[in-house]
């Protein structure tokens, strides 16, 4: 898939240049076909990457490497990524309510948090608000992503972390999702002894909360 996507990129650039300089319908059709091929190849590559990630997570019950993570710095980085993904369409906010660090595998946790943030951007209409929050909730370290997006009906919530489960198949496909993001989140949290709490209502937004055991938080720094 990497090779296919790599070859398609220059072909698409060339087709776009030709279409811009020509009124020929054939040139525009060629560009349209290559655009579709590139989009689908990229989506397939994301799917393969997510499947490989799940496979790696299934191989071991606990992370091989752990360290103390500066969550304030990570929250800043995640917010910057969210702003780039949003392209100015949303009101993005970050709230660091505790100085506590988090003990875990940096790559796995960042992957999980990134999936939660990307989902919020993907399913929140332009003009909506998305808030990333790091805090201690009833003694437990908690990373939260709340939004004012489309929300989720109650009957779907128990199934959201199932592989390939989609609330709205058409909307999920159009947004470029693979249907594996929340499954990855669930696996990462389980490996860290944590859990995913989802609060949502159709038409009124959602809160996705990653909760961790008390011992994984460190408030001494």
Residues 51 and 72 in one domain: no
Residues 28 and 126 in one domain: no
Assign 203 to helix, strand or coil. coil
Closest of 84, 108, 1 to residue 47, by C-alpha: 1
Predicted pLDDT at 114? 94
Beta strands 91-96 and 129-137, pairing class: parallel
What distance, in Å, lies between the first and last C-alpha atoms of the chain? 44
Predicted pLDDT at 171? 53
Predicted pLDDT at 205? 93
d(CA 13, CA 28): 13
d(CA 110, CA 192): 13
d(CA 48, CA 27): 31
Strand order in the sheet with 217-218: 67-69, 101-104, 217-218
Residues 114 and 192 in one domain: yes
Predicted pLDDT at 180? 85
Which residue range(s) make up the domain with 133? Answer: 67-218
Residue-level pLDDT, tens digit, the chain, 221 residues: 777 877 778 888 887 887 787 777 887 787 788 888 877 777 777 777 767 777 777 776 778 789 999 999 999 999 999 999 999 999 999 999 999 999 999 999 999 999 999 999 999 999 999 999 999 999 999 999 999 999 999 999 999 988 888 776 555 555 556 678 899 899 999 999 999 999 999 988 999 999 999 999 986 54
Please count the structural domains in the chain: 2
Residues 135 and 191 in one domain: yes
How far, in Å, are 2, 167, 168, 177, 183 from residue 133 at the CA level? 35, 25, 27, 23, 21
Domain end call among 59, 89, 104 = 59
Predicted pLDDT at 172? 52
Predicted pLDDT at 104? 95
């Amino acid at each position: 898939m990497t090779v296919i996507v790599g070859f398609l990129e220059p072909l698409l650039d060339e087709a776009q240049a030709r279409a811009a300089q020509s009124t020929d319908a054939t040139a525009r059709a060629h560009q349209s076909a290559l655009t579709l091929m590139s989009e689908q190849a990229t989506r397939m590559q994301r799917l393969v990457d997510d499947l490989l990630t799940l496979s790696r997570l299934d191989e071991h019950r606990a992370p091989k490497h752990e360290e103390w993570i500066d969550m304030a710095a990570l929250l800043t980085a995640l917010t910057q990524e969210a702003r780039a993904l949003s392209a100015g369409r949303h009101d993005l906010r970050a709230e660091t309510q505790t100085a506590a660090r988090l003990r875990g595998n940096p790559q796995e946790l960042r992957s999980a948090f990134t999936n939660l943030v990307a989902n919020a951007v993907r399913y929140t209409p332009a003009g909506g608000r998305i808030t990333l929050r790091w805090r201690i909730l009833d003694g437990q370290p908690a990373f939260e992503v709340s939004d004012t997006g489309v929300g989720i009906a109650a009957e779907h919530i128990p199934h959201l972390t199932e592989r390939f489960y989609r609330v709205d198949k058409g909307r999920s496909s159009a947004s470029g999702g693979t249907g594996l993001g929340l499954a990855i989140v669930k696996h990462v949290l389980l490996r860290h002894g944590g859990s995913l709490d989802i609060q949502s209502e159709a038409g009124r937004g959602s809160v996705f909360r990653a909760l961790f055991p008390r011992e994984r938080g460190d408030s001494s720094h």
